[in-house]
């Protein structure tokens, strides 16, 4: 068993070294030309701004730089376990070229990307290429020991070893063996160093913190506006609905009191009318309370509340719940109303025949996914219900993602931190 364990560890180590070499070589051969191209085009486009041509080209070039940087962020997360969250400021979709160009140039993340490109072309290239060199260069030393030295000139240097005959070729193989040992030890670490260097330049902790403060300020303002609008809605619903009916009930009771002795039959009619009005007022109050905080949500939790919501929909809806325990009440409330709004949008606009809702918790996040088989084309934009959902989630530092190609299906994913 001990031998098997050692063999397994050896295979795992060799696999890590091989993966580090292949990934590093990929980053060096693909990343280097990409960084050079992005940096050259950026300098050229920025230089053309004073003559006007750069006003048009710069947004496209900088979007390309962002796409390249985001690709490297993705590789850092998948290959190195190093997360580098982007922190680009949003731009209006209808912005003209002038506003778009200078909006991007005022974004600190843009200059962070541009500073990273020359670093990636130099130190980044070296740290990415070294794992492959440490693994492949020893193969040449072994080949020299097997007779390859005969095809080279009389004095061929392998590292610091001059290869002039078979004995010195064995010396080259010994050096190759040492380098192979160094590859086993340092190749994965060098690739990790490459990703840490990328994070150090692309991460921008201060700028990221400032951007986070700005986003939180905006979401807090949106939350205050939404709260004020919700209070006005409740006041309006009470005034126009339950309050008006209760006033009518009071007037009916006054009339009944006057008619009890004079016209008992008419009094009975008014009693029935008052009873019906009180029932309607109670139903409206219950509906209003359900809109503020559904009783089933408070009593039985998010899963059962969404199931109850699905039962009232005119479209067949399947709900899957995997929620160990309950989140805090504000988080559950935000998730419930976000799901409710997305379901209402799906019923109203998608033309779907079936809807699926999935609720689960993972990695400290409450994740809700609503999928429908409708016509697609849903977007997050001003005036849409999804924009309101995004604002609601933003109050809790949550995120909203929409995948809705033309023809469907539509998948809306919502995440709220709930650790």
pLDDT at 371 over 70: yes
What is the model's pLDDT at position 2? 45
Residue recorded with tokens 């919501």: 309
pLDDT at 316 over 60: yes
What is the model's pLDDT at position 1? 43
Contact between residue 359 and residue 373 where contact means Cβ atoms under 8 Å apart: no
What integer is the mean pLDDT of 59-84?
A: 89
| DSSP string over 179-215 | HHHHHHHHHHHHHHHHHHHHHHHH--HHHHHHHHHHH
More confident residue, 129 or 261: 129
What integer is the mean pLDDT of 245-249?
A: 70
163 membership: H or E segment, kind and range: strand 161-163
What is the model's pLDDT at position 3? 46
Q: How far apart are CA 188 and CA 227, in angstroms?
A: 52
**In angstroms, what is the C-alpha Rg of the chain?**
33
pLDDT at 64 over 90: yes
pLDDT band at 60 (very low <50, low <70, confident <90, very high): very high
**Least confident piece of the model among 7-16, 159-168, 198-207, 357-366:** 7-16
Burial letters for 72-81: b for 16+ Cβ neighbours within 10 Å, e otherwise?
bbebbeebbe
What is the model's pLDDT at position 6? 45
Q: How far apart are CA 101 and CA 103, in angstroms?
A: 5
What is the model's pLDDT at position 46? 92
- Total length of the chain: 419
Backbone angles phi, psi at 361, to 5 degrees: -115, 140
371 C-beta neighbours (distance < 10 Å), count: 20
161 membership: H or E segment, kind and range: strand 161-163
Q: How far apart are CA 188 and CA 171, in angstroms?
A: 26
Residue 339, strand partner residues: none
pLDDT at 388 over 80: no
What integer is the mean pLDDT of 187-214?
A: 75
What is the model's pLDDT at position 214? 65
Q: How far apart are CA 157 and CA 362, in angstroms?
A: 56
What is the model's pLDDT at position 221? 64
pLDDT in tens, 275-314: 777 777 676 666 655 555 667 777 888 888 889 888 888 8
The first and second tokens of residue 345, run together, are 């949008």
Residue recorded with tokens 């939404």: 226
Tell me the pLDDT of the chain averaged across its residues. 78
pLDDT in tens, 110-152: 999 999 999 999 998 988 888 887 776 677 767 666 766 666 6
What is the model's pLDDT at position 419? 65
What SS3 class is residue 20? helix
**Least confident piece of the model among 77-81, 164-168, 178-182, 231-235:** 231-235
More confident residue, 157 or 103: 103
pLDDT in tens, 28-51: 888 889 999 999 999 999 999 998
What is the model's pLDDT at position 228? 57
More confident residue, 234 or 58: 58
pLDDT band at 216 (very low <50, low <70, confident <90, very high): low
Burial letters for 206-229: b for 16+ Cβ neighbours within 10 Å, e otherwise?
eebeebeeeeeeebeebeeeeeee
What SS3 class is residue 52? coil
| DSSP string over 71-93 | HHHHHHHHHH-------PPP--T
pLDDT in tens, 344-355: 888 888 888 899
pLDDT at 176 over 80: no
Query: 244 burial class (0-12, 13-18, 19+ CB within 10 angstroms)?
Result: middle
What integer is the mean pLDDT of 66-85?
A: 88
Enumerate long-range contacts of 343-346, CB under 8 Å, 24 or more apart.
343/309, 343/310, 343/313, 343/317, 343/370, 344/385, 345/378, 345/384, 345/385, 345/386, 346/315, 346/370, 346/372, 346/374, 346/410
108: nearest Cα among 116, 97, 98, 119: 116
Backbone angles phi, psi at 105, to 5 degrees: -70, -25
What is the model's pLDDT at position 67? 92
146 membership: H or E segment, kind and range: none
pLDDT at 233 over 70: no
What are the C-alpha distances in Å from 169 to residues 69, 140, 147, 156, 297?
44, 10, 8, 10, 77
Single pTM value for the model: 0.48
């Amino acid at each position: 068993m001990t031998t098997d364990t050692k063999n397994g560890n050896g295979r795992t180590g060799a696999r890590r070294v091989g993966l580090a070499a292949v990934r590093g070589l990929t980053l060096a051969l693909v990343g280097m030309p990409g960084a050079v191209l992005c940096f050259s085009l950026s300098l050229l486009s920025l230089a053309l701004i004073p003559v006007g041509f750069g006003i048009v080209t710069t947004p496209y070039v900088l979007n390309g730089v962002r796409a390249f940087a985001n690709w490297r962020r993705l590789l850092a997360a998948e290959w190195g376990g190093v997360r580098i969250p982007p922190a680009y400021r949003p731009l209006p979709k209808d912005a003209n070229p002038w506003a778009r160009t200078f909006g991007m140039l005022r974004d600190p993340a843009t200059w962070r990307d541009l500073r990273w490109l020359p670093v990636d072309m130099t130190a980044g290239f070296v740290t990415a290429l070294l794992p492959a060199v440490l693994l492949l260069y020893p193969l040449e030393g072994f080949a020299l020991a097997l007779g390859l030295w005969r095809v080279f000139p009389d004095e061929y240097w392998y590292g610091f070893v001059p290869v002039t005959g078979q004995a010195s070729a064995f010396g080259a193989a010994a050096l190759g063996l040492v380098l192979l040992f160094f590859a086993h030890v340092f190749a994965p670490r060098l690739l990790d160093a490459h990703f840490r260097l990328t994070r150090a330049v692309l991460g921008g902790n201060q700028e990221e913190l400032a951007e986070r403060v700005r986003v939180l300020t905006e979401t807090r303002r949106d939350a205050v506006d939404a709260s004020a609008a919700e209070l006005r809605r409740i006041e309006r619903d009470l005034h126009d609905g339950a309050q008006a009916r209760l006033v009518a009930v009071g007037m009916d009771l006054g009339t009944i009191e006057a008619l009890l002795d004079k016209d008992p039959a008419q009094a009975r009619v008014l009693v029935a009318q008052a009873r019906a009005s009180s029932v309607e007022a109670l139903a409206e109050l219950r509906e209003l309370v359900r809109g503020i905080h559904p009783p089933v949500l408070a009593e039985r939790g998010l899963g059962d509340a969404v199931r109850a919501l699905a039962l009232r929909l005119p479209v067949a809806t399947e709900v899957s719940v995997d929620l160990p325990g309950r989140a805090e009440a504000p988080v559950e409330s935000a998730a419930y109303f976000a799901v409710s709004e997305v379901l209402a949008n799906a019923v109203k606009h998608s033309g779907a025949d079936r809807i699926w809702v999935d609720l689960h918790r993972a990695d400290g996040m409450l994740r809700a996914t609503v999928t429908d088989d409708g016509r697609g084309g849903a977007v997050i934009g001003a005036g849409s219900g999804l924009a309101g959902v995004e604002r609601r989630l933003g109050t809790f530092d949550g995120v909203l993602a929409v995948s809705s190609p033309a023809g469907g299906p539509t998948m809306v994913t919502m995440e709220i931190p709930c650790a």
